[in-house]
Amino acid sequence: MINKTKGVEVCCELSAMLRPTTYPFGVKFYESLEERPPGTTRPRHPMNTCQMTAIVRYYSRSMYFTAEDMACIVGGVTMGLIPEPEIMKNGEIAKMLHADLKSACEFTRQVAKIPFGKFKSVAVAPMAKINFEPDIVVMYGNTAQVMRVVQGYLYEKGGRVHFSTGGEWSLCADSIAQAYVSQDIALGLPCFGDRKTALAQEDEVTVAFPYSYI
């Protein structure tokens, strides 16, 4: 379990220095269905990953979900909760954004995915009141705010942050899954789904990083 004081401290420091519009939040993956943290809400109907995190970041609610709660195939696959279906493997699911099925398939092949079967459930909570130790911390912000997170990340280690995106499947794949798989900082551009169904704003980008970095 997380030191709650540390979680609040992280949130307060991010909020005081950067003034993000919504709450930074933590994401925790669980290997069984018996590890649900107290105080989390499970959706009554299937939802997208970005919709559930929107509830967390806008309303300071803690959420918990399993494969049964996933409305979005992409979110379920990239979170490692459901097996990758043929429609995703062959690129069919992304063909509307590509010239042909070959380019769509290449896009889906390179998307970050947590291996299926490793985890059974996910909990998400605002860092201000989180009661479990997250694997990943995520913040939505404008380019100036995210710039400062990147600069802070590089302050001691130096080097560069490499930004990988396909312009779609941003929060679940480019941010959360990418940060988990690479165990490195990841940036994302909110996708159509996040904008249409989860209140992502025109000036927002995402930044995610392993909690162990804090």
Q: What is the pLDDT of residues 142-190, one digit of tens each?
A: 999 999 999 999 999 999 999 899 989 999 999 999 999 999 999 999 9
Residue 1 predicted with pLDDT over 60: no
- DSSP H helical ranges for 80-191: 86-89, 101-110, 143-157, 178-182
Query: In this structure, what token pair is assigned to residue 55?
Result: 């509830």
Backbone angle region of 197, left / alpha / beta, with phi > 0 → left and psi within -120 to 50 → alpha: alpha
Q: Chain-wide mean pLDDT for the chain?
A: 94
Q: What is the pLDDT of residues 76-118, one digit of tens each?
A: 999 999 999 999 999 999 999 999 999 999 999 999 999 999 9
